[in-house]
Every structure is written in C-alpha cells, then in structure tokens.
Amino acid sequence: MEVIVSPSLLSADFLNLWKDVEMVNESRADWFHLDIMDGVFVPNISYGLPVVAQIKKAARKPLDVHLMIVQPERYVEEFRKAGADILTVHLEACTHLHRTIQQIKAAGMKAGVSLNPHSPVGLLEDVIRDIDVVLLMSVNPGFGGQSFIEQTIEKVKKLKTLIQSAGAKTLIEIDGGVNFETGRRLVEAGADALVAGSFVFNSPDPKSRIEGLKNL
Ligand code: DX5
Ligand code: ZN
C-alpha cells in the first residue's frame, strides 16, 4: 500500500491559508493534518474550531484533526460540526479512553489515539481493535520543526506486531520530524501514514516534497 501523506498546516502561512489549502488540494497529499493546542496539554496554543470550519469549506480531502488538549471528550461534537473526519485524542489526556473512542465513532468520525514519546504502545493492547489510527509522536508535541526521536522506529515495529496479533486494521501514523530520510525508515518499519509540517511548508516547492514523500 502507498503511504498516506498528511501535511500539517501548523507550518502553513496563516495570512494566506487559502493558498496553502489549495496547494494541498492540488498535490498528491491524502489528508489535511490540523494541530489543535490548548496551552495546557502542550506548552503552545495554535488555532481552534472557527479555523477548522473555514478550512473545511475549502478542503477537498479528509481533515485529520490532532487534539493536543486536556479533556478532549468535551469537544468531540464541536469538532465533528467543524468538519473533522478523523479525530485523534491523546492517551495521556483521557481518563476514560475507551469511552472517548466510542464517543468519536458514534459521532460518525474515525477514531485516532496519539501516544507521546514516553508512552509504550502496549498501553493500547486492550483497545487496539477499536482504533482506526494510532498517531505515534516522534517529537514531544507542541511545536513544528523539532528533530526526530530515533526510538520511534522500534515503536513502529512493536505497534505493527501488536496490531497484527490482534487481527486489527488500525493504521500507524507518525508525527514529528518527518523528512525523506526518516520517512523512508518509518515506512520500512511499518508506518502507513506520515505527517509533515516544516518539511513541506518551509520548502520553496511544497508540492514536490509531498510528491517525494508519496514515492519514498
Ligand atoms: C507537533 C505537531 C505536528 C507538527 C509537526 O506538536 O503535532 O503535527 O506540525 O511538525 P514537523 O513536521 O515540522 O515536525
Ligand atoms: Zn500533529
């Protein structure tokens, strides 16, 4: 299967967001990765519901919404209304993760669960069949442009084994420090989807970066 590419608009030009949304529409990218930060779960604040709703009007591909917020269960319905297709919550932010996953699916979205670099993949063993996407953080969440944490490669392999032994169809998505070199090694290790922010948007030719990630 060809790798799924999900450009992160965190590194887009917010004064010309429409232009960057169009670029992703016209590119070979598969999803739009939208990073929502509350300044509590992570030490940064990004953008929220009104921006997601505006992006939805222009986007011609699914919205892959990554919630880096505490108590994400309070906002499931709001993000569905704003247009999320995949809604990802952090394991570390959910006391009742199983319930939150069911809540996301009952609202009609695909359910994603994200793990910070310190959280072992084994914590997902009892919910893996319920999850559509696992988003492994390969940096500490909060900022674009950080360098890739090497341990993620081992984590992808362990997660792949966990998914296969459970007979699940869960996709493995990686977020942080993705470029052609780390991307290629991640796909070899078993990743199905790659998020890329600064590597795409800080390039003079973002479409060719996306193209390159599709052809790793
Ligand atoms: C980090 C965000 C990422 C970020 C990735 O907290 O979740 O999606 O945009 O940025 P890069 O690709 O620059 O590491
Ligand atoms: Zn993200």
- Name the domain count of the chain: 1
Ligand nearest to the CA of 182: 1
Q: Give the pair of three-digit tokens for residue 83.
A: 């247009």
The dihedrals phi and psi of 181, each to the nearest 5 degrees, come to: -75, -50
Could you tell me if 32 and 63 are in contact, meaning their C-beta atoms sit under 8 angstroms apart?
yes
Best residue among 42, 138, 175, 199 to mutate for probing ligand 1, ranked by most atoms within 8 Å of CB: 175
Asked whether the predicted pLDDT for residue 1 surpasses 80, the reply is no
Instruction: Select which of 38, 64, 132, 175 is catalytic.
Output: 175
Q: Give the pair of three-digit tokens for residue 51.
A: 């921006």
Asked whether the predicted pLDDT for residue 163 surpasses 70, the reply is yes
User: b/e string for 37-72 if b means 16 or more Cβ within 10 A?
Assistant: bbeebbeeebbbeebbebbbeebebbbbbbbbbeeb
Q: Render pLDDT for 119-133 as a digit per residue (tens, 0 to 9).
A: 999 999 999 999 999
Averaged pLDDT score across all residues of the chain: 98
Q: Render pLDDT for 26-59 as a digit per residue (tens, 0 to 9).
A: 999 999 999 999 999 999 999 999 999 999 999 9
Residue 153 belongs to domain with CATH number: 3.20.20.70
Tell me which residue range forms the domain holding 92: 4-214
- Ligand 1 center–CA 1 separation, angstroms: 24
How much is the pLDDT for 166? Answer: 98
